Chains A and B, each alone.
Chain A
Amino acid sequence: MAEVILKNIKKVYPFVSGEDKKKSKKKKADQPEKKKVNLQITDEGVVAVQEFSLDIKDKEFIVLVGPSGCGKSTTLRMVAGLEEISGGELIIDGKVMNDVAPKDRDIAMVFQNYALYPHMTVYDNMAFSLKLRHTPKDEIDRKVREAAEILDITQYLERKPKALSGGQRQRVAIGRAIVRAPKVMLMDEPLSNLDAKLRNEMRAEIIKLRQRIDTTFMYVTHDQTEAMTLGDRIVIMKDGYIQQIGTPQEVFNHPANLFVAGFIGMPVMNFFDAELEEKNGKYFVKLHDYEVELSADKEERLRKNNVKSQKITLGVRPDHTDVAEKGGVEGKVEVSEMMGSSVHLHVNADGKDVIIIVPTQDLKENFNIGQAVRFCFNGNVAHVFSKETDKNLEY
């Protein structure tokens, strides 16, 4: 239970030898603007995280989400003390922790691949940290059994990790973390090694766990479903930079840029090359002959930002794209996926793949491959992004 503040945190992996630096410099000279595998190569070394500032409130559940190599795990490991912080300040519960050893930060961490001690029983795995802190035996016993009960692993306490299934092992790993009642609980993709069914179950378990143990959580994942369902706030990262921080609803409804818009939401948002037109203080998006006036709140935000008429990237989520009887934009059905409660139509419109979600109950006819359909959307669900900066023009 503690507030965690990350102030302008930076992580640079220095070059191992002069030779590597030379090679990297040569590459850099060849391709001055290009980044290598999501990371930036500078004279200092390879930059993994930059300008990371975040204020995590006490008992808040923060999820760091982003594609592989975006720096989310590195950030978590810096909070844990497993990676040195190259720049900036890390404050946990009011104390600067940059140079404090992991064991003295009063944090606990659940690793992606469990990291259980294979020669110890489940009980000993969970009791290990308490033993090292010279906790009285009866208290260790009470805490271990309490945690085991929360995670429903009491019957496995005498077993060794090799005698457990993947899900049970991950529960033990979580048990080992919660037994100490840490100030901050760090979780590094704890569910990514589990199969889909178990992942869903464990996700629900973590939500319940969160209600019971009441501590500050930092959770890393590349799975947006986990991010949306678990987090009080989500931090979306790319190339070592924060792209947006917000509640799941905020990042879904008001993506800050094209990357966030494409990353959050399933299926991914439909993007179109369109035009934004300002006429007498009103804003319209124009897609070929189809013109939609934006909603009043959107117009107000655009007015506030003094946005002028320009070419834009228009984003509309598949669940906000509707099949139209007339008007709208025309396309041809390429694929029709029956998902049970809805049909996902992949429509080719002007060479672009547009996904339209049609609820099964609204389905009047079956869509055939090659069939011409028209689609439309409302002005309150259209997202307008700058062609130059990829930023959402409303923010």
Chain B
Amino acid sequence: MKQKMPKKKGEFAKLPTGDKALLTIGYILLGLFVVAIILPMVYIILASFIDPITLQNSGLTFDFSKWTTTAYERVLENAQIWVGFKNAIIYSVLFTIISVVVTLLAAYPMSRADFKGKGFFNTIFVITMFFGGGLIPTYLLINNLGMLDTIWAILIPGAFSVWNMIIARTYYMGIPRDLQEAAGIDGASEMVYFFKILLPVCTPIIATISMWQFVGMWNSYFDAMIYLNSASKQPLQLVLRSILIQNQPDPGMVSDMQSTAQRAQMAELLKYATIIISSLPLLIMYPFFQKYFDNGIMAGAVKG
């Protein structure tokens, strides 16, 4: 049974002791969870603006004379970063589109009880969840397919996610069958039903999968590092990684102690700035996706 949360002042006092204790523990845990997320985020934002020496000696400060935008200038003046941004956006958008389309289309027949060969395909799909091809064979395959150092090496291999397909399939299966039957009698073909009825009522799951895939691609750098050689094709994460590495103190140059210390401080500052720069698009994106996570989309379709 759905328990109503106490909203008014006196309501909490009226609750049984067990419920009070449970609610209090719940609020404490949630509070800790929120603090655990907010605190590092605030620290990183502030640290990215503070002079590295001050940060090292006295930690966070609100003395604005000690604040600097050097890190952002250093990162943003790097021409390669804009190329990285452009690539990351292209890869993430295209990957999300391809992945979502492939996943949603594959999930549809798998959601149908009358799909012949459903068991066979299910087995094939699930096997891939447990046994991967391995890095070297995958690399060789990509190479043999002539996709090395092309955008396709990034977009195609991971486009179909069995996990996402299972989630989409389960969501489809939750849509009342009456809806399809009503559409069928109204004159809708399977395609019309899929695109005009099913997909519009599946926006929450489409938004979820889209976001997972977009964020996954945006944050990924390993595939790009393995398969892409040209600097012009590198995504943002790889560029930021290069910037960070470039600014790391070189252990071989021990003679120039001052330069080494400066580079170490700059590397620290750049680290925070790169985290902010790479996360900013995603943070901006989240609120726009929020509206699609609407649980009530099916309300009114059938008698609940």
CB within 8 Å of B: which residues of A?
A: 80-82, 101-103, 107-109, 111-119, 128-129, 132-133, 160-164, 166, 169, 176, 193
* B residues 178-199 in Cβ contact with A at 8 Å: 178-179, 181-189, 192, 197
B303 within 8 A of A: yes
Name the one of A114, A128, A129 contacting B302, with C-beta atoms under 8 angstroms.
Answer: A114
Chain A nearest CB, measured from B247 CB (Å): 51
On whether the beta carbons of B197 and A117 are closer than 8 Å, the reply is yes
Measured in the bound complex, the distance between the Cα atoms of B200 and A160 in whole Å is 14
* Interface residues as binary, B107-151 with A (CB distance below 8 Å gives 1, 0 otherwise): 000000000000000000000000000000000000000000000
15 contacts between A and B (CB under 8 A): A80-B181, A82-B184, A102-B185, A103-B185, A103-B186, A103-B188, A111-B178, A114-B302, A116-B301, A116-B302, A117-B197, A119-B200, A119-B297, A128-B188, A161-B301
Main secondary structure of the interface of B (DSSP, over half): helix
Q: Look across to chain A and name the residue whose beta carbon is closest to the beta carbon of B186.
A: A129
Measured in the bound complex, the distance between the Cα atoms of B197 and A162 in whole Å is 16
Chain B nearest CB, measured from A90 CB (Å): 15
Q: Look across to chain B and name the residue whose beta carbon is closest to the beta carbon of A77.
A: B181
On whether the beta carbons of A132 and B301 are closer than 8 Å, the reply is no
Most A CB within 10 A of own CB, among B189, B197, B200, B302: B302
B299 within 8 A of A: yes
| B residues in contact with A164, CB < 8 Å | 300
On whether the beta carbons of A118 and B297 are closer than 8 Å, the reply is yes
Chain B nearest CB, measured from A394 CB (Å): 42
On whether the beta carbons of A115 and B302 are closer than 8 Å, the reply is yes
Given A119-B200, A132-B188, CB of A160 within 8 Å of CB of B300: yes
CB within 8 Å of A: which residues of B?
A: 176, 178-179, 181-189, 192, 197, 200-201, 296-303
| B residues in contact with A112, CB < 8 Å | 303
Shortest 6 CB-CB contacts between residues of A and residues of B: A161-B300, A162-B300, A162-B299, A115-B178, A129-B186, A113-B303
Given A103-B184, A103-B186, A128-B186, CB of A113 within 8 Å of CB of B178: yes
On whether the beta carbons of A115 and B187 are closer than 8 Å, the reply is no
Other A-B pairs beyond A103-B186, A118-B301, 17, CB < 8 Å = A81-B184, A81-B185, A102-B184, A103-B184, A107-B185, A113-B302, A115-B181, A115-B302, A117-B179, A117-B183, A117-B197, A129-B186, A132-B187, A133-B187, A162-B296, A162-B299, A169-B300
Name the one of A107, A115, A133 contacting B301, with C-beta atoms under 8 angstroms.
Answer: A115
| B residues in contact with A118, CB < 8 Å | 201, 297-301
| B residues in contact with A82, CB < 8 Å | 181, 184-185
Measured in the bound complex, the distance between the Cα atoms of B186 and A82 in whole Å is 12
Chain A nearest CB, measured from B138 CB (Å): 38
Q: Look across to chain A and name the residue whose beta carbon is closest to the beta carbon of B197.
A: A117
Chain A nearest CB, measured from B297 CB (Å): 6
On whether the beta carbons of B299 and A115 are closer than 8 Å, the reply is no
| B residues in contact with A169, CB < 8 Å | 300
Most A CB within 10 A of own CB, among B181, B182, B297, B299: B182
Name the one of B187, B201, B298 contacting A103, with C-beta atoms under 8 angstroms.
Answer: B187
Chain B nearest CB, measured from A131 CB (Å): 9
On whether the beta carbons of A132 and B186 are closer than 8 Å, the reply is yes
| A residues in contact with B297, CB < 8 Å | 118-119
Q: Look across to chain A and name the residue whose beta carbon is closest to the beta carbon of B298.
A: A118
Measured in the bound complex, the distance between the Cα atoms of B181 and A118 in whole Å is 15
Chain B nearest CB, measured from A292 CB (Å): 49
Given A114-B303, A161-B301, A166-B303, CB of A119 within 8 Å of CB of B201: yes
